[in-house]
Structure 1
């Protein structure tokens, strides 16, 4: 029997979740970097950030020429099948999987997180 090629048309983690986790890890990340890591266009990354902002998952503040993002603590999954589970649990898992290890806990309100000195 010949080996079956893996299907590449789907993934377990959506680009929305990836981008939200990346923003949690670096609140001042650029759209260009989000797009590059997710292998999507900058326009697609911008649309995803707009989706997340309008749905209340993050806030964006312009500081000079850069955006500063903050993940909104306590937000829940959108699909009713996920019940009342907080998105923070998934984000922490995704951030912990990234090279460099753990990031700040997204369930903590405020922006008193330490920046990763390697960035």
Structure 2
């Protein structure tokens, strides 16, 4: 997982649910504490968000010993009527492309 983003105040375009889902999609074995640090949330807030995402069918998890492996339900449709027809995989694809472009931007030039 990449380093945690810089702190931010004020409103943002992405919800905490989208950030948590994106972090899990990028690393399915990520720990709650690592998601919390990356998303700048409390562990309790991340636990609630993960619970919300599981309850509504966006995410499942498998317990392995003391850790979880998450699975994002890519075909699940986004909840808001304005995004009718868009799936979780559509959203995550946009975020993944953005992350890939920024990794390339930060790569040392040869």
More RCO (CA 8 Å, sep 6+): 1
Distance (whole Å) between structure 2 residues aligned to residue 94 and residue 73 of structure 1:
14
**Higher CA-based Rg:** 1
- Name the structure 1 match of 2:43: 42
Alignment of structure 1 residues 14-93 onto 2, 5 Å = 14-93=15-94
Aligned residues: 95
How much is the aligned-residue C-alpha RMSD, in angstroms?
A: 1.8
- 1:35-91 CA distance string (max 9 Å, x none): 001111000000000000001001011011100000012111101121111121111
Where do 5+ consecutive residues of structure 2 fail to align?
Answer: 1-7, 105-110
Distance (whole Å) between structure 2 residues aligned to residue 22 and residue 97 of structure 1:
13
Q: TM-score, normalised by structure 1?
A: 0.73
Q: TM-score, normalised by structure 2?
A: 0.79
- 1:82-114 CA distance string (max 9 Å, x none): 11111211112212333657xxxxxxxxxxxxx
